[in-house]
């Protein structure tokens, strides 16, 4: 898991692209966020708003000049939007 996470983050940091969307299962996304922000805890420990589940959330992260900024923490509110 750690090797895959590092590979994804290295790709993002070294890419010419400015925007990414990462779609994968919850454990992988959470571990990518933990790696980006140097959070050391068990791979199955989650942070964020999981009121409506923990395997389909949205997060918004900016990467600029070698630093990450968490704009929107993991959140599942989109799962109950009534359009």
Residue 16 pLDDT: 92
* DSSP H helices in 1-83: 2-14, 26-36
Distance CA 53, CA 18 (A): 29
Q: Integer distance in angstroms from the first to the last C-alpha of the chain?
A: 37
- Written as tens digits, the pLDDT of the chain (83 aa) is 789 999 999 999 999 998 998 888 878 888 999 999 998 876 566 778 778 877 788 889 999 989 999 998 888 888 887 77
Distance CA 37, CA 34 (A): 5
Residue pair 74/48 in contact (Cβ under 8 Å)? The answer is: yes
């Amino acid at each position: 898991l750690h090797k895959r996470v590092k590979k994804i983050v290295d790709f993002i940091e070294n890419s010419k692209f400015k925007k990414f969307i990462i779609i994968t299962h919850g454990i992988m996304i959470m571990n990518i966020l933990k790696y980006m922000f140097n959070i050391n805890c068990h791979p199955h420990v989650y942070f964020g708003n999981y009121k409506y589940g923990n395997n389909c959330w949205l997060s918004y992260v900016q990467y600029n000049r070698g630093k990450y900024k968490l704009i929107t923490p993991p959140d599942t509110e989109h799962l109950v939007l009534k359009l």
